[in-house]
Amino acid sequence: MDMAKGLLGRTTAAAVAAGILLALAGCRGGDGGDGAKNGGAAVIAPGRPGERARTLSPEEAAKRQPDDGPNAADRAYVQHMIEHHRQALAMSALAPDRASADAVKRLAERISAAQQPEIGAMEKWLARYPAPSGVPAAGHDHGAMPGMATGQQLEQLAGAKGAEFDKLFLTLMTAHHEGAVKMAGEALASGNNGAVEEMANEVVATQTAEIHRMRAMG
């Protein structure tokens, strides 16, 4: 329900923003002086049902855009997902020497190829949107992140080989992906930043498809 409300709110905000149409430069305002002045560019904002559209200056239109500033949920998601992805890369790095099935090796390659660039994008996002002064960074408690393998499970995976490795890898990585999808859903429900929304949607789409593939392989 929270996720649905978050998505609905984003959809409504996007519809309002998309409804603002750029007018030709030189258009003058009507309606009580709300339009652009001195022949400057104007923006047409559709009115509510039954109301006339309003002509706004670019400055007025900018103020009406939905707030896209990142909140605590956005920052926590990005910080945690970086650590989540890093564990997936560590697990995938074991596959070339230990897996017996070519399908498992190819899956591990795809995971590495997708998640390494995603880590880079998230690190750039953190550099662009540093936490406000005095706000501590989100902790990296692996046990608190859904789907993370325990230290013991990672040792078992590193010690396995052949069909045993394949089975354990698919089991752990399926749970890992399910946790990532859950984290992304929470970010979509509680976050506010458009870039984080795009990253979370990408995680949902990519890792849901891989979950189905791994279940079929198992």
150 and 185 belong to one structural domain: yes
The domain that holds 173 is classified in CATH as 1.20.1260.10
Higher pLDDT, 37 or 174: 174
In a domain, 2, yes or no: no
Q: Are residues 57 and 78 in the same domain?
A: no
Determine, yes or no, domain membership for 36. Answer: yes
Do 57 and 86 belong to one domain? no
Residue 6 resides in a domain: no
Question: Would 5 be classed as within a structural domain?
Answer: no
Give me the mean pLDDT over the 156-173 stretch. Answer: 98
Residues 97 and 204 in one domain: yes
Residues 43, 76, single domain; the answer is no
Domain assignment of residue 95, yes or no: yes
Are residues 81 and 24 both part of a single domain? no
Residues 42, 124 within the same domain: no
pLDDT at 203: 97
Residue 4 lies in a domain: no
Least confident residue range of 62-76, 122-136, 188-202: 62-76
Q: Are residues 78 and 35 in the same domain?
A: no
Q: 138, 71 in Cβ contact below 8 A? A: no
Which structure tokens are listed for 150?
């325990």
Q: Please tell me whether residues 208 and 126 are part of one structural domain.
A: yes
Average pLDDT, the chain: 81
Residues 164 and 57 in one domain: no
How many structural domains does the chain have?
2
In a domain, 9, yes or no: no
8, 33, 64 — which closes off a domain?
64
Residues 106 and 45 reside in one and the same domain? no
pLDDT of 26 > 50? The answer is no
| Residue 10 resides in a domain | no
Do 111 and 164 belong to one domain? yes
pLDDT band, very low/low/confident/very high, at 44 (cuts 50, 70, 90): confident
Return the higher-pLDDT residue of 169 and 142.
Answer: 169
Stretch among 68-82, 98-112, 121-135 having the lowest mean pLDDT? 121-135
Which domain, by its residues, includes 27? Answer: 16-64
